[in-house]
């Protein structure tokens, strides 16, 4: 009985949550549009610089994407390590099965962090060093 009530509540809440009534349209103002164009031009210039540095469009774009992965992996991996530490040291003190999960999360996120930080360097060494 409880499962039926909970499932009905979830369906009703999803129905009311996702209903959107757009009565007005928001127009993008000129300063925001100008900022978007500046950001786009900056990123295209950065991709062009990578293309010139690596001598190929494919290698340049790959190096650009690896650099972005390197930058965005730092905060995400730190958040993952923090969650793993909370699971291991806060929740894991009372529940021993979760204690191991926290340790595995920490090890996994540190491994992902190291891979994301070293991969652009290895790519640059292999492409620039061994391609010629």
Which tens digit of pLDDT belongs to each residue from 48-62?
999 998 888 999 999
Domain total for the chain? 1
Which tens digit of pLDDT belongs to each residue from 93-116?
887 777 788 889 999 999 999 999
Q: Is the pLDDT of residue 79 over 90?
A: yes
**By C-alpha distance, which of 110, 114, 88, 111 is closest to 99?**
88
Percent of the chain scored above 70 by pLDDT? 79
Residues of the domain holding 84:
2-130
> What is the rounded (10 degree) CA torsion for 85, 89, 94, 100?
60
- Rg, Å, the chain Cα set: 24
Q: Contact, 99 vs 88, CB < 8 A? A: yes
pTM above 0.75, yes or no: no
């Amino acid at each position: 009985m409880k499962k039926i009530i909970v499932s009905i509540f979830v369906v009703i809440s999803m129905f009311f949550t996702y209903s959107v009534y757009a009565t007005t349209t928001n127009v993008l103002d000129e300063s925001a549009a100008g900022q978007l164009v500046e950001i786009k031009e900056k990123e295209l210039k950065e991709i062009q610089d990578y293309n010139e540095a690596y001598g190929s469009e494919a290698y340049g774009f790959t190096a650009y994407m690896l650099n972005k992965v390197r930058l965005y992996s730092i905060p995400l991996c730190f958040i993952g390590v923090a969650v793993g530490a909370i699971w291991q040291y806060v929740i894991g003190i009372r529940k021993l099965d979760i204690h191991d999960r926290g340790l595995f999360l920490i090890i996994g996120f540190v491994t992902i962090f190291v891979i994301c930080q070293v991969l652009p360097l290895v790519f640059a060494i292999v492409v620039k060093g061994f391609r010629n």
